[in-house]
Amino acid sequence: MPPVKKIAMWLLVVFLLYAILTSPESAANIFRSAWQVITNGLGNIADFFDSLINRG
């Protein structure tokens, strides 16, 4: 991994730990929201391919 990516990854990990330790409820809400966006997106992609298959 190039040094810039490695540094960015460590900064992200440190920031996440800081956010969780200083404000666990806010961090949980952000994670919940992000998870909801991901699951909704995957559901929409599945619906799209399902409609493609059903039209054929």
Q: 19 near 27, Cβ under 8 Å?
A: yes
pTM (2 d.p.): 0.62
b/e for 36-55, b at 16 or more Cβ within 10 A?
A: eeeeeeeeeeeeeeeeeeee
**Average confidence (pLDDT) per 10 residues, the chain, 56 residues:** 90 93 93 96 96 83
CA–CA gap between residue 32 and residue 19 (Å, rounded):
14
For the chain, the domains span 24-56
* Type of residue at 52: L
Backbone angles phi, psi at 2, to 5 degrees: -60, 150
Give the model's pLDDT for residue 55: 76
